[in-house]
Amino acid sequence: MKMLDGFGNIFGMVKRSPEVITPAIFAVIVALLFNIILLLAKASNVQIQWLPFAFDVFKWTLIFTLSGWTTLLIKYESNKSEKIFSKIFLDLFVFSTFISFFTIVGLNLYIIPGMAIMFFVLYTPAYMVLNEKVRALNVLKGNLNFILEDAHVIHTLVALLIFMVLILIPYVGEYFAIFFYVLWIPNIYIFEKEKHEEEINI
């Protein structure tokens, strides 16, 4: 299906530039380590009610941040992507903390709130790293402009549906969802953005 090419062309991208998969693998490893720590804490009868929530927020802060890194690896050569990432890392990390807090709240409230919040923040890391000097509110606006004004509602809804289906798989679903988000979402954003700009320039 040609209109969903942004979902499939990632395989060719990984084959040409294997380093683009690095942030996704790192994100899954981090999530696994955090979950192991929580399991060990429970096994040791450590009763800290806020710990799982805090771990989830920090975990997704890293995931959103790593998604920005993937965006740069797909868009630019390694040297340039590393230079931009190091320059914008702090701003991206702070913004990722903000959006991860609300994302985790939404996911903890089950499917509908989680999907609604993800809709508003889905492409924000990609948008932010490719538009370094924009303010936080403009990042959220840029995400919505891409989805609504550039007519990418179908791509976004398909991506959200895949994300939610993956995250609901018992035991391993979270890791598949993280891998999908960190690797596929930046690729969808870049692919569709470039295709839209080419159509405008024709």
> Mean of the pLDDT values across residues 5-23?
81
The residue count for the chain:
202
Please tell me the predicted confidence (pLDDT) of residue 164: 84
The rounded distance, in Å, linking the Cα atoms of 32 and 183 is: 17
Give the pLDDT band of residue 29 (cuts 50, 70, 90): very high
List, for residues 144-162, the tens digit of each pLDDT value.
888 887 668 888 888 888 9
Closest among 191, 137, 174 to 30, alpha carbons compared: 174
Contacts of 62 (CB under 8 A, 6+ apart): 27, 30, 96
The residue that leads in pLDDT, 70 or 202, is: 70
Cα separations in angstroms, 161 against 17, 22, 151: 27, 24, 17
Q: Where are the alpha helices (DSSP H) in the chain?
A: 5-8, 10-16, 22-43, 51-75, 78-108, 111-121, 124-130, 136-144, 153-167, 173-201
53 closest CA partner among 99, 97, 105, 118: 105
- Calculate ∠ Cα 102-103-107, nearest 5°: 120
The pLDDT score that the predictor gives to residue 68 is 94
Tell me the mean pLDDT in the region 115-123. 87
Q: What average pLDDT does range 18-28 have in this prediction? A: 93
pTM exceeds cut of 0.85: yes
Residue 194, pLDDT score: 77
Banded model confidence at residue 3, pLDDT cuts 50, 70, 90:
low
Section 86-106 average pLDDT: 90
Q: pLDDT tens digits, residue range 56-73? A: 899 999 999 999 999 999
What pLDDT is attached to residue 67?
95
Specify the higher pLDDT residue, 28 or 42: 28
pLDDT at 6: 65
Q: What is the mean pLDDT of the chain?
A: 85
Output 198 or 187, whichever has higher pLDDT.
187
